[in-house]
Amino acid sequence: MKKFKMVKQGMSFVVIIALITVGCSHTTLITTTPSSAKVTIDGNYLGVSPISFYDTSGFPKTFFVKVNKQGYKEINVPIKQAYKGDVTLLWLIPGIFPYFLTATLNDAYNFNLEKK
């Protein structure tokens, strides 16, 4: 009986850790052609491309990206964080809840700038 209780507590610990860490963070690479364009996300200047954007929410949301470079047309585009069918679906085995912490952006986005 005591062994069963220890196994049960161990499994509970594993499930709790999975819930906390499964969808915690994601890094997305933003590149442009040509490079060295200014990248702004949700009104916050991120830097010049290529640059990584780090998000920790894990829940679906939309980010608004503005890309501009002198001599080129400005790009304003939404990028959406969404659930994907990948290895994180394995977390569904202990329950459905962990899946709702796994929304991610694509691994990379490339924006082609057009001359004005």
For the chain of 116 residues, list the mean pLDDT of each consecutive stretch of 10.
54 56 71 94 95 82 93 93 65 60 79 88
- What's the pTM? 0.60
Buried b / exposed e across 53-71, counting CB within 10 Å, b at 16+?
bebeebeeeebebbbbbee
pLDDT for 84: 64
Identify the CA nearest to 73 among candidates 36, 37, 109.
37
pLDDT for 103: 73
**Cβ contact 44:70 at 8 Å:** no
pLDDT for 88: 59
**Cβ contact 46:68 at 8 Å:** no
pLDDT for 86: 59
- Dihedrals φ, ψ of 47, to 5°? 145, -160
pLDDT for 116: 82
